[in-house]
Amino acid sequence: MKKLVSLLCLLFCTMVYSQNITIADVSFIGAKKTKISFLKKVVPIVAGSVTDSTAILETVNQLKRLPSIANASFKLHKNTVGSSYNLVYMVEENFTIIPFANLYTSSNDDFAFRVGVQEFNFTGRNITIGGFYQKDIFNSYGLLFRAPYLFSANAGLAVSYNNLKTQEPIFFDDTTADYKYHNEAIEVLGLYQFNQRHSVDLGINFFTEKYNYIRGATNENVPQALDVNKFSYKAIYKYSNIKYHYQYLDGFKSTLNSHYVHSSTKELDNFLVAFNDFVYYKRVGERGNWANRLRVGLATNDETPFAPFSVDNNINLRGVGNIIDRGTGSIVLNTEYRYTLIDKNWFVLQGNTFVDAGTWRNPGGELKDFVNSDNLRVYPGLGVRFIHKKIFNAIFRIDYGYGVTKNASKGLVFGIGQYF
């Protein structure tokens, strides 16, 4: 009966609002911290415009994508004089000052964590500011400013500073060495949205990379210390056609991330890195959500132990450990089924089952490396999500991955937000 009533309501709305209508006034109900002036800036429908229900529903989904908005809907009120309508948006706000933590471990007793805090609605204009501290043997930190609507409804700016220090395994001659890796970087990006589905980020990243040998194998062709200034041109193209309803997602998005890295020393060649994330979500019944991510990446195929793509817990394969291999090409498929076990007014308990699988091209190798069984990793597993529906991205996840391929490991991965 409930489904029948919903269908009849949808048919009624379609008949009433499918024709073009004139909007006399646009207003918002429910916005407290978020500035009304900002919401009017983002929504393209203004007083005096002619629109229809399809365009209005597009703006509702646009509002749902804002970090400050948990949910949105609309009503049309016909004016007593004339044939125009008043458009009223009803919004539910998120709490947007969010602490976060990422923790992970593996059967090799690797342990690292990152903690921090972000405000996703600074000044009520959906500006993100934040910082983090990371302990991964060494201490690291970073700061972020991102304002997608700083200059207009389509143009913004992002600036970040990161000072990262980690212990990195380097692979060569079928052996391994541990290096202290230090990356200090400043990045500036211009952000532009062509429309609600297409956007691009363009900018430049200035960074210094340092490698210092700690222990393990050595080779006269592999330096024990590097200190190199670099810069990279960065371009990110995004297509997103996702429908949001609290923890449920439905639709497709694609993100192409590419950058050209220029080195200040002749010892290291300039190189190009590009990868694309194809993500597909499917709502299954009332409580299910099927989520998929395919990442395909290639880099300049230099024969180097410092290859850009890594096999890692927090990036691609849950349970695999902390950077267990590197390559100049990567194909990774993550698929999981999320099912809502408990759904209350503000709290959701969600369980999931997943399979993470990936393969790599060895540095200086060939495309056939992708089908080499030595490079294939498959990690099925189970997880759980604790979700606060009224706090943006307040999803605490725990996943346990168990490797079923050669030389596999197993381990827990903790984090904030869905894995993808």
Give just the sign of the alpha carbon dihedral 54, 51, 68, 277: positive
From 42, 65, 93, give the residue that closes a domain.
93
Close Cβ partners of 281 (under 8 Å, ≥ 6 residues apart):
242, 249, 250, 251, 252, 289, 290, 291, 292
The residues, ordered by sequence, that sit 6+ positions from 374 with a Cβ below 8 Å of its Cβ are 406
Type and span of the H or E element at 288 = strand 288-299
In a shared domain, residues 18 and 144: no
First vs last C-alpha separation in the chain:
35
Concatenated DSSP letters of 267-282: TS--EEEEEEEEEEEE
Kindly give the pairing relationship between strand 347-361 and strand 329-343.
antiparallel
Looking at the DSSP assignment, which residues form a beta bridge with residue 198? Answer: 239
Phi, psi of 300 (to 5 degrees): -50, 130
Spatial strand order in the sheet of 85-93: 50-51, 21-29, 85-93, 69-78
**In a shared domain, residues 155 and 263:** yes
Residue with tokens 């016909």: 78
- Let me know whether 366 and 281 are in one domain: yes
**Which one-letter amino acid corresponds to residue 51?**
T
Q: Count other C-beta atoms under 10 Å from residue 255's C-beta.
A: 17
Buried b (16+ CB within 10 A) or exposed e, 282-293: eeeeebebbbbb
Token couple for 236: 């990110």
| Same domain? 375 vs 237 | yes
| CB neighbour class for 363 (10 Å; exposed up to 12, middle 13-18, buried from 19) | buried
Fill in the DSSP letter of residue 66.
S
Contact 215, 178 (CB under 8 A): yes
Same domain, 203 and 285: yes
CB atoms within 10 A of CB 54: 10
Domain carrying residue 14: 2-93
Domain shared by 151 and 290, yes or no: yes
Domain count along the chain: 2
Write the single-letter amino acid at 307.
A
Strands (E), 150-224: 155-172, 175-193, 198-216
**pLDDT confidence of residue 104:** 62
What CATH number does the domain containing 30 carry? 3.10.20.310
What string of pLDDT tens digits covers the 420 residues of the chain?
544 444 444 444 554 445 789 999 999 999 999 999 999 999 999 999 999 989 999 999 999 999 999 999 999 999 988 889 999 999 999 999 988 877 765 444 557 788 899 999 999 999 999 999 998 889 999 999 999 999 999 999 999 999 999 888 888 887 889 999 999 999 999 999 998 899 999 999 999 999 999 999 988 888 888 899 999 999 999 999 999 888 999 999 999 999 999 988 776 778 999 999 999 999 999 999 999 999 999 999 988 877 889 888 878 999 988 777 789 999 999 999 999 999 998 899 999 999 999 999 999 999 999 999 989 999 999 999 999 988 888 899 999 999 999 888 898 888 888 999
In this structure, the answer to whether residues 107 and 71 fall within a common structural domain is: no
Whether residue 159 is found in the same domain as residue 302 = yes
Same domain, 59 and 34: yes
Count Cβ atoms below 10 Å from residue 174 Cβ, excluding itself.
6
State which of 93, 118, 134 marks the end of a domain: 93
pLDDT of residue 220: 82
DSSP assignment string, 32-61: SSS-HHHHHHH----TT-EE-HHHHHHHHH
Single out the residue of 284, 374, 293 nearest to residue 333, CA to CA. 293
What secondary structure does DSSP assign to 119-137, as a single string? Answer: EEEETTTTEEEEEEEEEES
Q: In this structure, are residues 278 and 294 in contact, taking their beta carbons and an 8 Å threshold?
A: yes
Cα 156 off chain centre by: 18
Which value, to the nearest 10 degrees, does the dihedral of the CA atoms of residues 231, 237, 243, 249 take? Answer: -50
Q: Which pLDDT score is estimated for 376?
A: 94
State how far Cα 226 lies from the chain centre: 31
Residues 109 and 88 reside in one and the same domain: no
Of 50, 74, 93, which closes a domain?
93
**Does residue 160 sit in the same domain as residue 307?**
yes
Nearest by Cα to 203 from 247, 164, 155: 155
Those residues with Cβ within 8 angstroms of residue 309's Cβ, 6 or more apart along the chain or in another chain:
275, 297, 299, 326, 327, 328, 329, 330, 360
Joined together, the tokens standing for residue 270 give: 């300039």
Same domain, 213 and 250: yes
| Cα–Cα dist 106/85, whole Å | 59
CA angle 317, 320, 325 (to 5 degrees): 90
**CATH number for the domain that contains residue 374:** 2.40.160.50
